[in-house]
Amino acid sequence: MIYLTQLIFVKKGKEDIFHEFENFAIPLMGKYNGKIIHRLRPPKEAFISSSEEQPYEIHFISFDSENDLAEFLKDDARQKFMHLKNESVQSSLLIKGEKM
């Protein structure tokens, strides 16, 4: 089992396009033994301190294996929707980890 934490920074005014991508990509994860454990959209008031820009969303995700993640990332149907992600996401920070 692998765990991912992703901080997603969305371009202002492109939130609806980002949601369109997520509405397709999140259900597709199940095909590859992946799931969203938590999907957060924290308000600015939720940050106690921050030295950098605050993310639009934070995802806590799991996949059964590295191979499942790799297959999800290269899925042909997902690739057809990548233009939505590219248009709406300014940047993201992906952190891989394991349960301890």
| Residue ranges covered by each domain of the chain | 2-45+53-97
pLDDT for res 52? 87
Once rounded to an integer, what is the mean pLDDT over residues 27-39? 97
pLDDT for res 82? 94
Per-residue pLDDT at 15 exceeds 90: yes
State how far the Cα of 97 lies from the Cα of 1, in Å rounded to an integer. Answer: 9
pLDDT for res 99? 82
Per-residue pLDDT at 3 exceeds 90: yes
Q: What is the pLDDT of residues 39-82, one digit of tens each?
A: 999 999 999 998 888 999 999 999 999 999 999 999 999 999 99
| Angle of helix 15-29 versus helix 76-88 axis, rounded to 10 | 150
State how far the Cα of 23 lies from the Cα of 50, in Å rounded to an integer. Answer: 29
CATH architecture of the domain formed by 2-45+53-97: 2-Layer Sandwich (3.30)
